[in-house]
Amino acid sequence: MGVSARHAPAALFSLLRVAGAVESHVDVRLAPSGLSLPKLAALDRLVKAGGQLPLGHLAERLACVKSNVTQLIDRLEGDGLVTRTHDPADGRSRLAVITDRGRERHAEGLRLQQDAERELFSHLSDEESQQLAVILAKLERR
């Protein structure tokens, strides 16, 4: 990285803008399922965990704050996709349990999300996909 090293101007805003566009594209594709990306992500973690998780663990796996999960589960419960039960092992803890409708919806949403993802990234060559992975890893490591 020599004296001439200069990142593209407005790389920051470009990255944020594209990420926003990509996110909203996926959201649109997801809309027919009645799911948002955050809701799908929560259902996905539950399915991957075998159907249920304490809210605190779910927050960890979603990399967000616990109060956010409380509200997200409120909405998913309102949709009938999740229920809350007591944790038999610890009276302080609540379990989020996915319902049958929740599993169906998850399968549908996952399919739509993967279609959208394939569509978006199919415009990149193998080489570009590889480059992107490297660059994102570098950016993530501060």
Partner DNA sequence: AAAGATTGACTCATCAATCTTT
Partner DNA sequence: AAAGATTGATGAGTCAATCTTT
Residues 54 and 93 sit within 8 Å (Cβ to Cβ): yes
Determine, following the binding rule CB under 8 A, whether residue 5 of this chain makes contact with a second copy. Answer: yes
Which of 105, 81, 85 is closest to 96 using CA atoms?
85
**By CB under 8 A, what part of segment 64-83 binds a second copy?**
none
Determine, following the binding rule CB under 7 A, whether residue 43 of this chain makes contact with DNA. Answer: no
Instruction: Choose between 8 and 89: whose C-beta lies nearer to a second copy.
Output: 8
> Which residue among 10, 12, 31, 67 contacts DNA (CB under 7 A)?
67
Give whole-number Cα distances, 7 to 10, 13, 18, 122, 137, in Å: 9, 12, 17, 26, 17
Give the angle 63-142-65 at the CA atoms, nearest 5°. Answer: 15
> Residue 139 Cβ, how far from DNA at the closest point, in Å?
18
> Residue 6 Cβ, how far from a second copy at the closest point, in Å?
7
Determine, following the binding rule CB under 7 A, whether residue 129 of this chain makes contact with DNA. Answer: no
Which partner in DNA, a second copy, none is near 55 (CB below 5 to 8 A by kind)? DNA
Instruction: Choose between 1 and 65: whose C-beta lies nearer to DNA.
Output: 65
Residues 74 and 82 sit within 8 Å (Cβ to Cβ): no
Residues 71 and 62 sit within 8 Å (Cβ to Cβ): no
